[in-house]
Amino acid sequence: MSMAIFTAPVPQNEAIKMYAPGSPEKQLLKQELERQKRESVDVPLFIGGEEIRTNRVEEIRCPHDHSLKLGRYHKAGPEEIAMAIKSSLCAREAWSEVSFEDRAAIFLKAADLLATKYRYIVNAATMLGQSKSPFQAEIDSACELIDFFRFNVYYMQEIYKEQPMVSPTGNWNRLEYRPLEGLIFAVSPFNFTSIGGNLPTAPAMLGNVALWKPASTSMLSSYYIMKLLQEAGLPGGVINMIPGKGSEIGNTVLNHPALAGIHFTGSTSVFQTMWKTVGENLSKNIYKNYPRIVGETGGKDFIFAHKDCDIRALAVAMVRGAFEYQGQKCSAASRAYVPKSIWPSVREEMVKMVETITVGDICDFKTFMGAVIDKNSFDNIVSYIEYARRASDAKVVIGGKYDDSKGYFIHPTVVETSNPKFKLMEEEIFGPVLTVYYYDDAELEKSLKLVDETSPYALTGAIFARDREVIAHLSKALRNCAGNFYINDKPTGAVVGQQPFGGARGSGTNDKAGSHLNLLRWVSPRSIKENFVPVHQIDYPHMLES
């Protein structure tokens, strides 16, 4: 039992290492990359603190070099899924009673381990397994996940400090923030190692237990995150990692009476199916409580330019926003609206920039773009490029090359169209393809409405303008189009503690990862009133004789 009220350290964003020529971090990362390329990792399930191997395995291969086998991972079947659920529920009672400071210490230690011992391990795993460049891996698997651990501890403390404002004489009113009754199902995508680390740990910090199903294309980095959490002192069973077939794991967990919440990042269609299943189960009275559903899904993120904008800055934002990490970010710029009067100048600037972009093996630190994640993704993106080539109302003006003979490489591609409802303006592609609609300068208001109407999503968006009145007008017109909105900046790169991340409409529940708003979803408050002066009569003063 605590004998003091402890205060968590005030967090600061982790400093980004730049891996410049001759820097010690560059040498250390290169050494770790070579080690992992030589080593073949056998990734188990993690259940109850034990490593479980099922011998139902899939290979882990490098997206930018299919010939490079990085290891294999074991898949959960019905027996292991049931075992993981039982393990979580067995761990729940003890974990829910662990004090704030002891829970906080585990994740603060995890942050420090990731900032030091595990930094190059997890970064290298993300580079090799998910084809991220050194900088993209650094800002994701190191800095953002470190920030999630440190800031979430601080947010947890601030939530616990929020207490009733009034306790009349003779009373003490209190709020207790209980973990949810049951288990959390955490389902993470391939594109951000930090999301994989955050989805199960954010609820766990608040005293919950979680079943974590990582994406099959991010198994190498997910393995090292579990090793990191174990070394930080996380008790067995608090987070169980169960790779495997999504539908098989999901059907079992979503239909279990102990489901208390879903923490999800991935496709809109999968999330909607999960929500439908929960709704149907509620009608059957399967659950003990209403499960909390938190999800961040798709996006068709936009850049909208005004004719008075900084053309060079706009071009940089379009190139970086669309092509960093091969456009495989939920926040990546996928459609742009540029006035006809400036589009030729913007396009010229972009052509010059794209000509300098190298596409290839991310182990060459000069490479800007690696490969897309797998064959299915490659084929899907190529189908959009070829559709644009065949279209009468659009054309490929930059890039459009692709080759999967060694790795799943797609070069940065820009499509221009005179049709604001062109297929590539409407549908999520999740690759390095940016479609630009060049609008008539006189049709600003009409074009703003198009941004709002064209896509069912509302994740990220950016505007470019100089005049303050114009900025204010564009911001107001596009208020509901994006949960993360950028002014004269690319629509990617949200930082924990600076820009809490999430969108609404078809993009999710907008519960803002990287803020206290997300953590509030993983607690069930209890109001406590203690009366120090008990009442011994039923009469009220107005009942007494005058």
Instruction: Please give the positions annotated as active site.
Output: 296, 330
Pairing of strands 41-43, 65-74: parallel
CA-to-CA dists, residue 474 to 179, 306, 309, 441, 454, angstroms: 42, 9, 13, 14, 16
Q: Is 70 exposed, middle or buried (0-12, 13-18, 19+ CB in 10 A)?
A: buried
Helical packing angle, 119-130 and 24-38, nearest 10°: 60
* Closest by CA position to 302, among listed 450, 468, 413, 439: 450
Tokens of 533: 């002066």
Tokens of 86: 């039982």
Q: Is the dihedral angle over the CA atoms 317, 318, 324, 325 positive or is it negative?
A: positive
Alpha helices, DSSP H only, in 162-218?
Answer: 193-205
Tokens of 32: 């770790």
Q: Is 262 exposed, middle or buried (0-12, 13-18, 19+ CB in 10 A)?
A: buried
Asked whether 274 and 250 are in contact (CB, 8 A), the reply is yes
Alpha helices, DSSP H only, in 162-306?
Answer: 193-205, 219-232, 246-254, 268-283
Range list of β-strands (E), 75-132: none
Asked whether 261 and 184 are in contact (CB, 8 A), the reply is yes
Angstrom distance (rounded) from CA 98 to CA 81: 26
Angstrom distance (rounded) from CA 104 to CA 111: 11
What residues have CB less than 8 Å from 130, skipping those under 6 apart?
A: 63, 190, 191, 193, 217, 218, 221, 373
Angstrom distance (rounded) from CA 249 to CA 253: 6
Angstrom distance (rounded) from CA 428 to CA 302: 11
Angstrom distance (rounded) from CA 454 to CA 144: 31
CB contact burial 143-175 (16+ within 10 A = b; e otherwise): bbbbbbbbbbbbbbbebeeeeeeeeeeeeeeee
CA-to-CA dists, residue 393 to 27, 390, 436, 533, angstroms: 49, 9, 12, 79
Tokens of 411: 């070069």
